[in-house]
Amino acid sequence: MSASWLLRRLALILYTVFIVSVLVFGITQALPADAAVTLLGENATTEALNAIRERLGLGDPIWWQYLRWVGHAATGDFGLSMRTGQPVGPEMLTALGRSLLLAVAAILVMLVIAVPLGMVAAVRQGKLADMATGLISYLGVSFPEFVTATLLAMLLADTLQWLPATGYVSPLEDFGGAVRHLALPVLTASLILVAHVARMVRSETLDVLHSDYIRAARLKGLPERTVLVRHALRNALLPVVTIVALDVGYLLGGIIVIEEIFAIPGIGRQLMVAVTARDLPSIQAGALIMSATYAVANTLADVAYAVLDKRIRYD
Amino acid sequence: MTAVLSLRDYTLDYLTGSRPLRVLQDISLDIAPGEVLGLVGESGSGKSTLAWAIMRHLPKNARELSGSIRLGDTDLRGLPPRELTRIRGRRIGMVFQDPSTALNPTLTVGRQVTETLVNNRGLTRRAAWDLALELLGHVELRDPDALMRRYPHEISGGEKQRILIATAFGCRPELIVFDEPTTALDVITGARILDLFARLRAETGVAALYISHDLALVSRVADRVAVMKKGRLVEEAPAASIFARPAHEETRKLVAAVPRPENRLVHDRPGDRVLLAAEAVSVRYARPRLFRPPPPPATHAVGFDIRAGEILGIVGESGSGKSSIARALTGLADFSGGIRFDGRPIGSARDMDGAYRRAVQIVFQHPDGSLNPRQTVGEILSRPLKLFGTGPANLSGEIGRLLEQVRLPAAYATRWPHQLSGGEKQRVAIARAFAAKPSLVICDEITAPLDVSVQASIIELLLALRAETGAAYLFITHDINLIRQIAHRIAVMRRGELVDLLPIDAVDADHVHPYTRDLMAASPTPVG
C-alpha cells in the first residue's frame, strides 16, 4: 500500500463527505420548516422573525449559506442547537463516541462468537454441530433487534436481575458500571451480526479446506490443529473483513433502535431527537458525522485486507 | 531386501450415484529402496487415485475393498489418523502438480518451509531456518534468505517447485510421491526440475513413485515403468526397454502417441502468397500512469508473416508473449505496430472488420472456459454460422455437417458441453472456428490440457481440416516435439521478443539463437 494510494483514499473520503454535505444541506433547505419560525414559535412577530433571519443570515443566497456552514463545520463548529442552545458539534461528537464504543464492542463480541462457530460448522460439515449453528444463525437473523432486545432484557434484567435494563455510564467514570450497562445492547447488536458472519466464515472455511494448499499442508504431516489455525483460518477470514466493514454501516443505522430501547444517548438517538424537534443544525451535523465515520471505516477495512493478504497491493 | 512400498491386490471403488465405480483393481506393485517407479496412463486410468490411496488421503466416497498398502513394516491401511500424521512428510513425502496452488498464499515461503522441517525433523525454528537456507542453496536457488521472506505470488513457478522438492527431500523420507511435478511448468523450467530430481535422488537414494502421463519424460527419470489402464496395471517393465519393446497394447498406444520430431506429419510446402504479415507488433497491457514508468510490453516489436496454408509454430517459455500475439491478431488486446492481411493494412483492433474477423479464427487452450455451459453444442455452432450468412433453413444441416467434419456424430448438436469429454469439447471449439470458413486459425495451446493419445487425434483432425479447407495455422505451443512434427516454420519467443524464425529443417542448425538451442535440448526425447 503506497502513500499515494492512502492520499487518494483520503481524497475519496473528503469527496464522499462533500457530496453528503450538499445533500444534507439541500434536504434541510427543502424542508417546509422555516428556521426562524421553528426557533421563535408560531406566534412570533414579523419584526422578531426578520431580526433573527438577519442574524442567522437566512436572507443570503443559498450557495453563500452553504459555504458559510461548510466553512464553520470544517472547524468543528456546526452552530448552536435550536433545542438546547448548546454547540451542536461537541454534543454530536460525544454521542458518536458512545455509539462507536457500542459498535466496536458489538463487533468484537460478534467476532469472538461467530468465527469459532463458523469454523466448527465447517469442520463438522453435515454433522450435528453444523446443523445446530445453522439453526442458531437463522434464528438470529429472523428476529428483529427490538424483539431480541426485549427478550434479552426480560430474561437478564427483569427475571434474573443480572444487568441493568437501561441507561449509559461512561467507562471513564465507572468502568464496571459501563460494562454492565453496555452488556445488553452489545449482546443484542452482536447477536444479529453473528448469524450472517458465522455463515460467511463457514462457507469460506469450506472453500479453503478444499484448496490444494490445505491438502498439501495435511500431506506434509502438519497436525490438523496447525492446518486449521495457521493455514485455513487466515484465508477464511479475509472476506469477513469486508463484511464487517459493511456491518459498521448497519450498526450506525440499526443501532438507533437499540439505543432507543436501552436509552443510550448515542448518535442515533440524538439524531432521532433532532429530527423530532426539527433541530436543523443537529440533523446536519449528525448526518455528516455518520457518513464520514462510514467512509473511514471502509477505508480501514481495505487497509486491513491488504495487511492480511499480501497478494493485494494498492498502488 | 524388503520393499519400501508394497501394494498387494489393492482394489478400490468410488460410490457415485446408483452403483459403485471400480477405480483400482487388484493393484500389486513394489518399490525397492532407492528405486524410481514411473507410473503412466491416460487421465482417468487411476494413477492419481493410487497416489491418494498411498498417501491415505481418499475422498469420502472411496471404499477400499481389499488388499494391503505397506510402507516398510508399517501397514498404512490400519493406521489411525494420528499415526498417519506422523508418517506423512516424515516417511512419505509428496510433490504436487501445480506448485502455485500447493503453497498457502498468505504465509511467507520461509514460514512454510520451516514449519515442515520443525514438524518433521524436530528442529527448533532457528535450526530449521538455517537448514532451509542450506536446502534452497543446494537446489541452486539464488539468495535463499531473500527468497524465504517472500510470499508465494512473488516468486516464479519453477522456484516454487524447487523449494517444494527441496523441502520434501529435506525431511529425509523413505519414499516421495511425485504427481506430475513438471506438467504445470514450461519446457525449460520442467527440464531443469527433472535434472534436479535426478541429482537429489542420486545423492539421497530416496525411493520415488513418479506419476506422469508423459511416457517420454517418465522413461528418462524412472528405473522401472508401470502402465495403468482403467484401474489396472497392464504392464511393468524396465524403463530402458519399455519404448523399444512395449508388450501391452495400451503401452504401444502410449508409445505411438508420443510425438517424435523425426516423424513428420506434414509433407507439403505452403504457397508463396503472404496471408498475414505482422509488423513490429507490441502489446502492452497496463496503461501508463502519471508519475510511474509504463510497464514493459508483453511483446516487443514482433514481426513475422504467415503464408496461405502454412503452419507456423510459436514456441517459448511461459510469459514469453506467445499468447499476447494471438490476442493482438484477434483484436482481443490493443497493440501498436501494424498487421497486413491479404495486402490490406490493419492498424488497430478497430480496423478489424467482419471480413477480417471471419477469416481469422481462434481456438483457446481451455474449452471449458470458451464454450458457454448454458448453450447446447448446436447453439454454440449456430452463432458463427448465422453471423456469416447461413440461413435458418440450412442451419441444422450445416451444424450436422460441421460436427461430422470434426469427426463427431451429428446427434451431438443437442448435447451440453459438460456431457462431453475434454477432447470432444476441443473438437466442438475447432468446429466453431471452422464454421466461419477461415483462412487462418490461431491455435493457442489447444492440446496442452489433453492426454497424449487424445492430443494425437486432435492433431490428426487439424491436419485433415487443413487438407480440406486450405487454412493456415498459427500454432502456439510449448511442446517442441509436437510442433516439429507439423510446422513449416517455427518462431521462437523469449521475454516478449522474437529471437528466431526458422524453417523446420534449420532448427538444429549451428547458427540458431542460443535460447533456441536450449529449448530444443530441453524437450524430452523418447528413449529406446
What is the domain partition of chain B in residue ranges?
1-91+180-258, 103-172, 274-288+297-373+438-522
pLDDT of residue A33: 63
Closest CA to B335 of B289, B294, B279: B279
Report the topology of domain B274-288+297-373+438-522. Answer: Rossmann fold (3.40.50)
Amino acid of residue B48: S
Coil, helix or strand at residue A190 = helix
pLDDT of residue B425: 92
Amino acid of residue A14: L
How far apart CA A309 and CA A42 sit, in angstroms, is 60
Between B87, B104, B168, which is nearest A213 by CB?
B104
Residue B12 has pLDDT above 90, yes or no: yes
C-alpha cell at B498: 522474437
Question: Is B293 an interface residue toward A (CB < 8 Å)?
Answer: no
Residue B519 has pLDDT above 90, yes or no: no
C-alpha cell at A262: 436501552
Residue B362 has pLDDT above 60, yes or no: yes
- Arithmetic mean of pLDDT over chain B: 88
Question: Is B190 an interface residue toward A (CB < 8 Å)?
Answer: no
Taking residue B261's Cβ as centre, other Cβ atoms within 10 Å add up to 18
Between A213, A221, A308, which is nearest B101 by CB?
A213
pLDDT of residue B379: 93
C-alpha cell at B355: 471480413
Question: Per-residue pLDDT averaged across B88-114, rounded?
Answer: 91
B89 in Cβ contact with B116 (< 8 Å): yes
Contacting A residues, span 203-222, partner chain B, CB-CB under 8 Å: 211-213, 215-222
How far apart CA A192 and CA A196 sit, in angstroms, is 8
Closest CA to B320 of B188, B447, B472, B160: B188
Question: Is A223 an interface residue toward B (CB < 8 Å)?
Answer: yes
CB contact under 8 A, A234 and B88: no
How far apart CA B194 and CA B396 sit, in angstroms, is 50
Reported confidence tier of residue B434, pLDDT bands at 50, 70, 90: very high
pLDDT of residue A100: 87
Question: Per-residue pLDDT averaged across B470-485, rounded?
Answer: 91
Ranges A85-99, A217-231, B135-149, B514-528: which has the least confidence: B514-528
CB contact under 8 A, A223 and B85: yes
Reported confidence tier of residue B292, pLDDT bands at 50, 70, 90: low
pLDDT of residue B400: 93
Task: Tally the C-alpha atoms within 13 A of residue A137's C-alpha that lie toward its C-beta.
Answer: 21
Burial class (CB in 10 A: 0-12, 13-18, 19+), B33: middle
Question: Is A309 an interface residue toward B (CB < 8 Å)?
Answer: yes
| Phi, psi at B472, each rounded to 5° | -90, 155
Contacts of B102 in chain A (CB under 8 A): 212-213, 216
Question: Comparing B17 with B53, which gets the higher pLDDT?
Answer: B53
Task: Tally the C-alpha atoms within 13 A of residue B304's C-alpha that lie toward its C-beta.
Answer: 28
Ranges A205-219, A245-259, B41-55, B448-462: which has the least confidence: A245-259
pLDDT of residue B525: 67
pLDDT of residue B452: 78
C-alpha cell at B393: 433453413
Question: Comparing B362 with A58, which gets the higher pLDDT?
Answer: B362
- Characterise A17 by phi-psi region: left (phi > 0), alpha (psi -120 to 50), beta (else): alpha
pLDDT of residue B113: 95
CB contact under 8 A, B119 and A223: yes
How far apart CA B164 and CA B102 sit, in angstroms, is 9
pLDDT of residue B184: 75
CB contact under 8 A, B119 and A221: yes
| Phi, psi at B71, each rounded to 5° | -105, 105
pLDDT of residue B440: 95
Distance of CA B323 to the CA centre of its chain: 15
- Which residues, in sequence order, are bridge partners of residue B276? B306, B341
One CATH from 2.30.140.10, 3.20.20.70, 3.40.50.300, 3.30.1330.10 for B1-91+180-258 = 3.40.50.300
Question: What secondary structure letter does DSSP report for B226?
Answer: E
Residues of chain A with pLDDT under 50: none
Reported confidence tier of residue B100, pLDDT bands at 50, 70, 90: confident
Which residues, at least 6 apart from A240, have a Cβ–Cβ distance to it below 8 Å?
A115, A197, A200, A201, A204
How far apart CA B358 and CA B436 sit, in angstroms, is 6
pLDDT of residue B1: 58
C-alpha cell at B181: 511435478
pLDDT of residue A157: 80
What are the residue ranges spanned by the domains of chain A?
89-308
Helix locations, B10-124, DSSP H: 47-55, 81-87, 99-102, 109-121
* CATH architecture, range A89-308: Orthogonal Bundle (1.10)
Q: What is the ipTM of this complex?
A: 0.76
B230 in Cβ contact with B516 (< 8 Å): no
Between A213, A230, A310, which is nearest B151 by CB?
A310
pLDDT of residue B120: 92
pLDDT of residue B97: 86
Taking residue B212's Cβ as centre, other Cβ atoms within 10 Å add up to 24
Residue B287 has pLDDT above 60, yes or no: no
Helix axes A88-123, A128-142, angle to 10 degrees: 150
Question: Per-residue pLDDT averaged across B168-193, rounded?
Answer: 87
Query: Per-residue pLDDT tens for B222-266?
Result: 999 999 999 999 999 998 888 888 889 988 888 887 888 888 888
Contacting A residues, span 1-30, partner chain B, CB-CB under 8 Å: 4
Q: How far is B423 from chain A (nearest CA, A)?
A: 25
